[in-house]
Amino acid sequence: MDPGPGAGAGDQNPYGLAIATATAGLEVKGDLLVCNFNDAKNVQGAGTTIVQLSPTPGSTPTRFAQSSSFAGCDAIAMAPNGNLWLADYTANNDPIVAPAGTINTTLAQNTWYGPWGEAFNTGTASMPTFFETNAKNGTVTRIHIAPGPTFSFDTLLSGLSYNNGMPGNILAPAGLTYDKATDSLYVVDSNANRVLKIAQATTAPASSYATSAMGFTSPNVSVVYSGAPLSAPISSALLANGHLVVGNTGDNNLVEIDPALGSIVSTKLVDTGAAGAIFGIATTTATDGTQYVYFNNDNTNTVVRLSP
């Protein structure tokens, strides 16, 4: 919950979650950055704040940034230089926020359709790229970054299912996770209860992937897993072993998937309360090899850390 002061104080319902990649400005490498989807009155999609906290149990959040341009922030992805890229459903933009908490640009000049997911192609410096999903038209947008910087936008994948849900009940392509080892982008296809893989995500020609009555128009798109135990999944992250951890909003289970085999490895119930607890997920591996999974719990307005 945002501690204030001023506008945005008391914002709640954390959606976006990322781990700081560098120590710069206000950021400390390894700290957690969280954006709040709701305001203090719990109005869905009215939150305007980003908070920061240490990745240790009992940490107290501090205000990182606040702006009406962040309204309805639901996903955060980090660039190697510490810039945050936000997907803002209500503001309908894709801001870039510097480590100092200032806005470089809102990228409002591009036409968005309810930004709903965000990922960066970490480790592909020759063509730095962000990916973003749109909840109101079922597409995945790709944003290439050229020197300047200048940005070019294209539709990478189109035709995915979406439910036109109001904030709090949105099911659409979300949960983007990028695997730099294979230039693959994983997409949580929430309304279809499945996870997709897009191969050659950075380099494929624009608009090269779409759905059709027979499936996908490119062999580079595949279904990693579909059906139970996935239940209205909305978030995902990559584990050190190459597996995906996917968060269900339908039943509050975390689901581990082996994408190479297309099989379920395990499930874990992380909240026995009302459905819709799990949103943003982030993972990291400690120097001793311990794998940590962080997730936002919207039932308790907390960030939870799981470890073996």
Is a pLDDT exceeding 90 seen at residue 295?
yes
Report which of residues 210 and 248 the model is more confident about.
Answer: 248
Q: What is the pLDDT of residue 55?
A: 93
Q: How far apart are the first and last CA of the chain?
A: 27
Of the ranges 27-36, 110-119, 200-209, 225-234, which one carries the lowest mean pLDDT score? 200-209
Whole-angstrom Cα distance, residue 308 to residue 302? 20
Q: Which pLDDT belongs to residue 167?
A: 85
pLDDT (0 to 100) of residue 204: 85
Mean pLDDT of the chain: 94
Supply the pTM of this predicted model: 0.96
Q: In whole angstroms, what is the distance from residue 238 CA to residue 234 CA?
A: 14
pLDDT value for 125: 62
Q: In b/e form, how buried is each residue of 226-250, taking b as 16+ CB within 10 angstroms?
A: eeebbbbbbbbbbbeeebbbbbbbb
